[in-house]
């Protein structure tokens, strides 16, 4: 008896994979796994119900807490941006893949399967984890190049309830950190996204009067919102709500996928935008100039690996170790003003601040301004030498 474990989302592609794995790949038993990484609860429930009617065995895993502590907190510490934009899907894939491999292990399965196509990043992110486990890897969607029409007919022939239209509107991927929308008419980069694609954020024009929120950070991660201590999952969920009302965190990006294809992607990520701005600001108060400069390079390298799903690369651990070391002092409070799509830091404080009001102010201070005269004589010294030589 051959068993395969499938990463299942509840959508048409992964639903069609279930009978395909039996008919085209000769597996006898298909086990589905739905990973709850903070997508809407109704989506998790629907996927679970559907899987239970069509798969031989099913697991729904609540990974929200592990997702936050193992992937979102590190991304905050690393100011995680790829090509200037918030990471999302990329952060969830390795965790989902690892959990599926664990189930395959305990179920003594023969193979792991995903429903990704051959054009995107997700096939790489799943498989880099899958292949490290030694199981066979199957990717029916990539192998078969199916049309949506064919899938819908095949699904109804196999008793799979289909709730989608023949006309695929957009493809959406959601987790606690980000909602991504791609495909359909959005593939034309000159097409202005219609308001209806947004579900987490109000349009900035329709957003209410400004509010100022208070965030407390400890060792680089958020621990309280408006004076209330919250676990990471609740804090991020709450910030998504508040930020969404104010139209914070919409991105329309032309993104370079790992394979080199450019793609047009729309994202919503209110909490991520707020937390990343606040965290980055707090670092500028606390870290030394040299740390900030060097860390910007480390952060960029970290985000690149995270985007590619290469979280088991030794470099990822090396960079994370550096980042964690710097975060030992990143503790303090930040106030952020939310107004019509913008999240702007308006105040910050920390017991570890290198900033000194006394030193910087124009009044009496412990700095003797005359001491900098010698320094200023050498400032730009080499440029002056060059100017002299070239005269």
For 34, which DSSP code? E
- Classified as helix, coil or strand, 265 is strand
Is there a catalytic annotation at residue 56? Answer: no
The token pair that represents 384 in the structure block: 């002056």
In the complex with ligand ARG, which residue's Cβ is closer, 135 or 200? 200
CB 343 within 8 A of CB 213: no
Residues that bind ligand ARG (CB under 6 A): 89-90, 120-121, 171-173, 180, 182, 255, 263, 265
In the set 29, 136, 171, 234, the catalytic residue is 171
Between CA 149 and CA 311 the distance in angstroms is 37
Give residues with Cβ within 8 angstroms of 233, minimum separation 6: 38, 64, 65, 68, 176
Residue 183 CA, chain-centre distance (Å), reads 19
> What is each CA distance from 271 to 59, 163, 167, in whole angstroms?
29, 31, 32
In the complex with ligand ARG, which residue's Cβ is closer, 120 or 220? 120
CB 128 within 8 A of CB 153: no
Is there a catalytic annotation at residue 13? Answer: yes
In the complex with ligand ARG, which residue's Cβ is closer, 261 or 367? 261
Is there a catalytic annotation at residue 171? Answer: yes
- CB of residue 59 vs ligand ARG: minimum separation in angstroms? 22
Query: Is the torsion defined by CA of 182, 176, 87, 348 positive or negative?
Result: positive
- CB of residue 10 vs ligand ARG: minimum separation in angstroms? 13
Intra-chain end-to-end CA distance of the chain, in Å: 85
In the complex with ligand ARG, which residue's Cβ is closer, 81 or 216? 81
In the complex with ligand ARG, which residue's Cβ is closer, 269 or 279? 269
Is there a catalytic annotation at residue 122? Answer: yes
In the complex with ligand ARG, which residue's Cβ is closer, 70 or 183? 183
272 φ/ψ angles, rounded to the nearest 5 degrees: -60, -45
**Start-end of H helices in 139-268:** 140-144, 148-157, 232-245
Which of 68, 95, 80 lies closest to 222 in space, CA to CA?
Answer: 68
**Start-end of H helices in 107-257:** 122-133, 140-144, 148-157, 232-245
Active site residues per annotation: 13, 93, 122, 171
């Amino acid at each position: 008896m051959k068993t395969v474990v499938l990463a299942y989302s509840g959508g048409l592609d992964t639903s069609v994979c279930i009978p395909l794995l039996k008919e085209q790949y000769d597996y006898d038993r298909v086990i589905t796994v739905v990973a709850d990484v903070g997508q809407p609860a109704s989506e998790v429930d629907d996927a679970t119900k559907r899987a239970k009617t069509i798969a031989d065995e099913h697991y729904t895993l609540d990974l929200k807490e592990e997702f936050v502590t193992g992937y979102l907190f590190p991304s905050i510490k690393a100011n995680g941006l790829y090509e200037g934009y918030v990471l999302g899907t990329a952060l969830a894939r390795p965790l989902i893949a690892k959990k599926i491999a664990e189930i395959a292990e305990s179920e003594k399965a023969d193979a792991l399967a995903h429903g990704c196509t051959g054009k995107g990043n997700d096939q790489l992110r799943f498989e880099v984890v899958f292949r490290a486990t030694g199981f066979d890897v199957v990717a029916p969607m990539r192998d078969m190049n199916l049309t949506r029409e064919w899938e819908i007919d095949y699904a109804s022939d196999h008793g799979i309830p289909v709730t989608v239209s023949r006309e695929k509107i957009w493809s959406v991927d959601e987790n606690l950190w980000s909602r991504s929308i791609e495909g359909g008419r959005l593939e034309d980069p000159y097409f202005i996204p219609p308001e209806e694609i947004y579900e987490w954020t109000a349009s900035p024009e329709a957003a209410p009067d400004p509010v100022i929120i208070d965030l407390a950070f400890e060792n680089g991660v958020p621990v309280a919102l408006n004076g209330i201590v919250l676990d990471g999952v609740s804090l991020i969920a709450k910030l998504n709500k508040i930020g969404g009302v104010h139209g914070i965190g919409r991105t329309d990006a032309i993104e370079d996928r790992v394979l080199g294809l450019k793609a047009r992607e729309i994202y919503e990520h209110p909490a991520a935008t707020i937390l990343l701005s606040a965290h980055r600001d707090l670092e500028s108060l606390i870290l030394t100039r040299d740390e900030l400069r060097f860390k910007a390079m480390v952060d960029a390298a970290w985000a690149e690996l995270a985007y590619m799903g290469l979280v088991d690369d030794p470099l990822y651990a090396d960079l994370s170790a550096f980042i964690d070391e710097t975060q030992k002092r990143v503790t303090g409070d930040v106030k952020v003003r939310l107004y019509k799509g913008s999240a702007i830091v308006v105040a910050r404080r920390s017991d570890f601040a290198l900033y000194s009001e006394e030193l910087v102010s124009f009044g009496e201070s412990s700095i003797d301004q005359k001491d900098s005269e010698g320094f200023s004589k050498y400032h730009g010294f080499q440029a002056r030498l060059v100017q002299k030589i070239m005269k």
